[in-house]
Chain A
């Protein structure tokens, strides 16, 4: 059983202050860069201390799930400030700018920071990135995500998907076609964040052409997962929208139940940890590691 933390990680109070100061002209880009580096080192240490299997860079420079890719692409531009699901956090919704959608230059080390051990990379899923742009998921997969993934070195690419579970009639054919395009590089996982995936599972979510499927188990009942689940099951067992701290023993017991349904299980949050403050996120990571250890000892 693995454990890891994809998605955007919260900034430390020091980085919050540094970026505030930058906006107010009280500090320099270099000083903020130095603090980002310190945050990254602390995040790496937190993951290593917890015994996580793949490291994440926490996407500390990403303004939101889409922005660096939108800014690096032709055919897309930043749209209106939009509430992210039921949070008080907002993002610039991508919008179509016309013409062919393509990545002009892959986002670099500034946004995909080098890490000292095996890592994951998080990108938006083609469905999420295409929302509201006028392009199909396949078009953004071909034009943006595929070249970005080709430029990426990772043990797994986690495709974050916050919107699909809220669709009344998800277009699985369109999404499947888009995901097909992305193969040929690292294994892919489709991470359904912050939403009930029951209907998606019933419609064949597990048949999509990816290696892993991420499920939010604070919104989704375990019974929705079919027995003999054939994919790597990325189990969202940390509630990234709640300050309550999870009990490692409860997670471990739940993981044991999941292992009866799927051969391969990984423990992770149910979405980006940036919706809690950094100290809480750090403690949640520690507890995720404890849960994994507890489960390993019991197995």
Chain B
């Protein structure tokens, strides 16, 4: 470790879609505030040629949905780059949603409508109804475009096999009738889900990853927000990760959020191909400053990630994405310094939000990310000082 350690910063995946993309995609008319949104954010983020978008929106973009989506990707990239993030994605501007986008490009699923996630947030849910296969690689077009548009490095978020399985209804692998009054056999349920998740891993995720790698993807983040849904299926989650990535030439990480993280141990000891876990902690943490264990209750579990035998990095979630509260740079700093203290090796700590910032406005998301980068710099400075003092 040298005196000038810098922490790798990255985002997680999703970002809200701007009103001009939402309305254009839905075929709804724009109003003056939408065009002002495009103008003001284009100016604020220094988006090259944003006047072209403003003109397009003013003249009616109903026949240019793809162009508008590309503009939205440029804006989202710039929002993160301007905030100072090192590894970025476009906030999934061109995807419907992390589950629906993958399912829409798979064979073997049928839509079953909309289900609430929380409050006024919802997701579309499908059922597996037949054999699963990849209809077409579903991140290639966006990756190709983003390669041409990004200034920072690209990390591709891909929804993982286990999450796709656990978020779907099963109308194919498990029994269709005769369940009433039998009592649940967990072994049979797990075996059905195992078959389901591994089919997704092998026949949907893996060929999609291979397509991305052929296009030059360097870092692929397997999103698994559903990983800890069933405490007795963690080994299945790990197995599905391994089947998805084993032998592929790329850096793979996984994203976990809003879970009892203790549950992941020891199952993820088997995920030796995972080079980084990016995990949401801030949601559970205090907003008070401090770098002692008692100051950082949300980060209690990180020592378990430290002790994994294959030494993965930890993507340290330092922004609570469920609130508009803007974490101060000092709070971010203290969360990082606490993690460094636990890990001992700052190189194994990366800095990121808890999860995608899709549920926050761009104003809030940008402020949070700026604060995250500033807090990261404060942590770097503090670390340098302490190293210098130690010598």
Contacts and interface: CB of A to CB of B under 8 A. Distances in A.
Interface of A: 10-11, 13, 16, 19-20, 22-24, 63-64, 80-83, 86-92, 196, 198, 217-224, 237, 239, 242-244, 246-247, 250-251, 254, 257, 274-280
Interface of B: 19, 22, 112-120, 122-123, 125, 127, 166-167, 169-171, 176-184, 226, 228-230, 258-259, 283-284, 322
A277 to B, nearest CB: 3
Nearest to B180: A254
Nearest to B229: A86
Contact of B176 (A20, A83, A244): A244
Given A16-B122, A20-B120, 11 more contacts: A16-B114, A82-B258, A88-B167, A89-B117, A90-B258, A221-B182, A242-B170, A246-B180, A251-B180, A277-B113, A277-B114
A218 B123 contact: no
Contact of A254 (B120, B181, B259): B181
Contacts of A279: 113
Contact of A239 (B114, B116, B179): B179
B177 A20 contact: no
Contact of B322 (A81, A246, A254): A81
B115 A88 contact: yes
A218 B179 contact: yes
Nearest to B126: A243
A254 to B, nearest CB: 5
A81 B112 contact: no
Contacts of A237: 180
23 contacts: A16-B114, A19-B120, A20-B120, A24-B22, A81-B118, A81-B258, A82-B258, A86-B166, A88-B226, A90-B118, A218-B184, A220-B181, A242-B169, A242-B170, A243-B127, A250-B177, A274-B115, A276-B113, A277-B115, A278-B114, A279-B113, A280-B112, A280-B113
Pick the most buried of A83, A222, A223, A247: most chain B CB atoms within 10 A of its CB: A83
Pick the most buried of A13, A221, A243, A254: most chain B CB atoms within 10 A of its CB: A243
A270 to B, nearest CB: 10
A39 B121 CA distance: 18
A83 B122 contact: no
A244 B181 contact: no
Given A218-B180, A254-B180, A83 B258 contact: yes
A106 to B, nearest CB: 22
A223 to B, nearest CB: 8
Nearest to B225: A88
Contacts of B167: 88
Contact of B112 (A219, A221, A224, A243): A243
Contacts of A89: 115-118
A14 to B, nearest CB: 11
Nearest to A11: B116
Contacts of A257: 181
B359 to A, nearest CB: 9
A280 B111 CA distance: 11
Given A81-B322, A88-B167, A13 B179 contact: no
B177 A247 contact: yes
Pick the most buried of B114, B170, B179, B181: most chain A CB atoms within 10 A of its CB: B181
Contacts of B283: 80-81
Contact of A198 (B169, B183, B284): B183
A97 to B, nearest CB: 15
A64 B75 CA distance: 35
Contact of B184 (A23, A219, A277, A280): A219
A26 to B, nearest CB: 9
A88 B183 contact: no
A244 B171 contact: yes
Given A254-B180, A280-B113, A24 B19 contact: yes
A266 to B, nearest CB: 15
